[in-house]
Amino acid sequence: MKNKLLLLLASSGLLATNAFAQAPATGRPAVPGSGAPTGAPGGASPRAAVLPAAPQGSGRITGTVIDAGTKQPVEYATVALLPATGEQPIDGAVADDKGRFTIKGLAPGSYRLSISFIGYGTSLQPITLEEGKMSVDLNTVALTSQAKQLGEVKITGERPVVESKPDRLVYNAAQDATNSGGSAADVLRKAPMVSVDPDGNLQLRGSGNVRVLINGKPSAVVAGDVAQALKQLPADQIKNVEVITSPSAKYDAEGSAGIINIVLKENNLQGVNGNVGLAVGTRNSNANFALNARKGKFGLSSALNSWLFYSPALQELDRTNYDRSGNVLSKLEQRNEGNGLGGGGNLRLGLDYEPAPNHALNLSVNGNLFARGQEATVRQKLFQGPGLALQTNPFSTYFRDLDQDFGNKNVDLTGSYTRSFGQQSRREWVVLAQHSRNNNRNTYAIDQFNLNSASDEKVPLDIPFYQEDSRNKARNLETTLQTDYVHPLSDKQTVEVGAKMILRNVRSQYFVDTAYASNSFGRNAQLTNVFNYDQNVTAGYLTYATPLSKKFSTRIGGRVERTDLGGNFQQGEASRFTTDYTNLLPNVSLTYSLKQPGSTVRASYSRRIQRPSIFYLNPYQNRIDPYNIQQGNPRLDAEFSDNYELNMNTFVKGSVINLTAYARITNNAIEGIRSTRDTLVENQTRQITFTSYGNVARNQSFGLNLFGSVKPLPKWDISGNVNAYYVYLKSAALQTSNSGVVVSANLNSSYKFDKGWSAQFFGMINTPRVQLQGKSSAWQMYSVGVRKSFLKDKADLTLNADNIFSPYRRLDNDFTTRFLDGAEVGRKQSEQTNTTRIYNRGVRLAFNYRFGKLENKPKRPARSIRNDDQKAGDGGGQGGN
């Protein structure tokens, strides 16, 4: 921040850098010269300043910082109390998200109050406290924007790539050049504590039980398969990613590992502005356009984007089946090759209106279309019997042409009303409503031929001796009503209370038609049905926050949730089921403020719930591979987790350090279940693998996460994250257990050169993941990017390269099933290795152009619906996929 206060402090040796953080600290707020680095509460300095103690008394100074042009609050402005003469601060504060600040405990005397914020000029106010007038209310203090004019666009400053805030870590994706032209999966890979494998499967500190929100609310886009959803959202539309590992009782109690909130780009600025972008790459391409307009009390925002991705596919499967004596019974080999093509579009519209200073209305709609197709060939060989001879039965050894399609349409409609009670009050009441609709279709068509085992090709001029056509349509409706109320009991004590109702209806219709020797198709009655499922949740919460002493503060909360659910199949009355349960989910945290402003130690406990989504519930049998059948489980129960966390956030010589020790214990975890079954295939006994889900395991994780960021040079930023945890999985039902240590690490580095040039590097490594019935292989990824800004910083051109030294990443997943009955309980029944080559080497060239007039205008704090109670899919291709 370039202003008079900082220059004075820098000249006196109190500061060595020129930026203050914009996040409030716990306990006594940070003041200039606190020694906190960029992106941290309190300011930016490589060494801490030792401030003289302020004279003690009953004096009090209050006020609200606003933008002189827009009259809106300036969030997290820095307030420094100076003596009548001299430039060394003696006390201070950081304004809250409404621009309010308070400094108390002051003795009578004359002072000066310096108020500043990035992109604004400094305001210097004379203050006099005297007997009989020990309270001074400045009402509003207006700061004038000092934005630098660059053509039509005004640039007011830049955030660091990663920020450490009191309750979350924030990855500012817009500052990372390597994201340009990519997808949301590329962005999340670089967020602290987050791991996304090459296939798009998401984990937070080693757990896939994480809730993904978009702009702080659930979206039909991520209602089912999260891995596919991350491919649908262009990185150029993402502003930042918030990682919250210990959410308060205000959040739905879902996501045992925590919450990831993807914040999309939007403008809250007067006038008309927008941007247009185009990216072309060897693996994916996209185009995006945004237009925003605001005049007075009305604001309109819009965004339109489309994307396309393409890649070859190569998969191998090798399975060995054993009899009860431990002898090899059969061996199965599959080799699949194909090409995939997918794409879609997204449209977002938002309208907000502020009829009065304390009233705000918002209405938004988000629509999404997505389609993916894949054409593949499948070669299968089965070896069985004496000497493990190749089986010539055409249903055991065959060549297949496979055509698979998946489509998705979804829409979110959201409205909110916010009632505040004056700029000096933290009291607020919010009412929100949302309706979401998600329609999925999943189809495949199979032509099966005899395999020429010598050439591994289908027999020439052969006609298909078997054909299969499958259709699945799934619909998910969700309606949410929510209200939240915040009431300050005093300057430091706050009560939050709220209620919520979620109504969900899921419908899945599926059928399979088969034909033999080119005869007409006939419906398979055993694989045809209609499934209806209702899940209704009613919840209420209460949170109380208060300081316990000068150094300690606490937040205590609880959430009560009532769940009513029921389901039925159209065919079969015995398939009807209903259940309900009520749960109390406590949440408590204790925070200790260290001597260095902004440095804290926090201990927390929370109990979390995960209800299964349609991905896990869908009873549709995916028989695209008759030897590997997948199906959801409509009778899954919710799983409950106890989370313990000890976190320290501090700053050392200009560096951010965030260290967290955590434990997560789940006694009825939903896990994938693989079992080997003897099944008649065309009157011959064959061993197939059947995959579903069940509440079958105890899942315990104990870990340590370290995040750090440093600025070795003024133009060089480095940040990194290391997460190591021990996981123990045990299932009495499956007669198996597994354990091990898993480590993941990433490094992000950026350097800004002169004349608009910048460069970025990102790399990550992951050791093998431990699963209940096996493990997955280790993997690593890296990317480099170069960006050039031109046209007076209105445009930029970015060149990115991903994994340039290897054409693909090989992922191996090993699974073992065991006998569950008889004298052989626990003995190995089958071993299987799935090998997938992910062709993720790619190069992208992206162009972005910004237009319109941008003025610095603080944004009203966003209020949104957060339906965090469902366990979403992980991209494994099972259940509802």
CA distance 287 to 293: 21
What is the residue-averaged pLDDT of the chain? 80
Best-predicted range by mean pLDDT (177-186, 293-302, 807-816, 867-876):
807-816
* Nearest to 827, CA basis, from 325, 412, 251: 325
Q: Are strands 466-488 and 123-129 parallel, antiparallel or unpaired?
A: unpaired
Within its chain, how far is the Cα of 358 from the centroid?
A: 32
Residue 315's DSSP bridge partners are 336, 836
Give the position of tokens 């009441």.
Answer: 429
The beta-strand segments (E) located in 636-654 are: 639-652
Q: Are strands 684-713 and 202-204 parallel, antiparallel or unpaired?
A: unpaired
In order of 139, 425, 649, 666, 753, the CA distances from 58 in angstroms are 19, 21, 32, 50, 51
SS3 843: strand
Summarize pLDDT for 804-859 with one digit per residue, the tens: 998 888 999 999 999 988 888 889 999 999 999 988 899 999 999 988 864 444 44
Q: What percent of the chain has pLDDT over 70?
A: 80
Summarize pLDDT for 326-344 with one digit per residue, the tens: 999 999 999 999 999 999 9
Cα distance from N-terminal residue to C-terminal residue, the chain: 50
Length of the chain: 881
Kindly state the tokens that stand for 108.
Answer: 């009578």
Q: Are strands 135-143 and 757-766 parallel, antiparallel or unpaired?
A: unpaired
Q: Are 38 and 593 in contact (CB under 8 A)?
A: no
Q: 682: pLDDT confidence band, cut at 50, 70 and 90? A: low
Complete edge-to-edge strand list for the sheet that includes strand 168-171 = 162-165, 168-171, 238-244, 258-264, 210-214
Summarize pLDDT for 141-172 with one digit per residue, the tens: 988 875 443 333 333 344 566 666 656 778 78
Q: List, in order, residues 6 or more apart from 877 with CB less than 8 Å away.
A: 622, 630
Burial 835-864 (b: 16+ CB within 10 A, else e): bbbbbbbbebebebebbbebbbbbebeebb
Best-predicted range by mean pLDDT (199-208, 226-235, 829-838):
829-838
Give the mean model confidence (pLDDT) for residues 30-46: 34
Q: Is the pLDDT of residue 8 over 90?
A: no
Kindly state the tokens that stand for 634.
Answer: 């409509």
Q: 95: pLDDT confidence band, cut at 50, 70 and 90? A: confident
CA distance 830 to 674: 10
Kindly state the tokens that stand for 877.
Answer: 């291709």
Lowest mean pLDDT among 160-169, 266-275, 681-690, 845-854: 160-169
